[in-house]
């Protein structure tokens, strides 16, 4: 199975292989922390998938949905978010979920496919500590 793990840059993901593992987290109960990563890399197949999903051409999809960042030629555009500052442009900030789940990029399809999600563990701890099941814990001290 292909997954994505942070490399030297904690806000960039890289593909690695790992055996299937049993998850101890529920993404449906998360406010979308991974969707706030500044760099969500896209490849040619991701752009083709987005173009097909929206019924537009590949060039138009690339122009409309991507922006170069650092050394990545194509990354997901972002928008404002009350909890994390900026999130993926396709993240529903009200419902806290992906609006293009069927057409999501490869980086999102494989992430985080590990037994434990660090943010989810942090979130559960903060929710218990604050006695608030709906708390959205941020990691930037605000």
The DSSP output letter for 8 is: S
Residue carrying the six token digits 């529903």: 92
Predicted confidence band of residue 24 (pLDDT cuts 50, 70, 90): low
C-alpha–C-alpha distance, residues 47 and 105, integer Å: 8
- Report d(CA 10, CA 93) in Å as an integer: 23
Q: How far apart are the first and last CA of the chain?
A: 36
Position 75 pLDDT exceeds 80: yes
Tens-digit pLDDT profile for residues 101-125: 999 999 888 776 666 677 777 878 8
78 contacts 68 by C-beta, under 8 angstroms: no
Identify whether the C-beta of residue 117 lies closer than 8 Å to the C-beta of residue 111.
no
The residue assigned the tokens 């608030």 is 132
């Amino acid at each position: 199975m292909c997954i994505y793990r942070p490399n030297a840059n904690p806000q960039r993901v890289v593909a690695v292989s790992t055996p299937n593992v049993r998850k101890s987290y529920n993404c449906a109960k998360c406010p979308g922390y991974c969707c706030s990563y500044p760099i969500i890399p896209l490849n040619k197949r991701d752009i083709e998938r987005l173009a097909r999903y929206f019924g537009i051409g590949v060039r138009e999809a690339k122009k409309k949905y991507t922006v170069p960042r650092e050394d990545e030629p194509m990354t997901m555009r972002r928008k404002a978010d009350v909890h994390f500052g900026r999130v993926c442009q396709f993240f529903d900030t009200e419902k806290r979920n992906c609006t293009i789940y069927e057409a999501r990029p490869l980086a999102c399809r494989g992430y985080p496919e590990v037994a434990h999600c660090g943010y989810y563990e942090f979130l559960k701890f903060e929710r218990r500590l604050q006695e608030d099941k709906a708390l959205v814990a941020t990691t930037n001290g605000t």
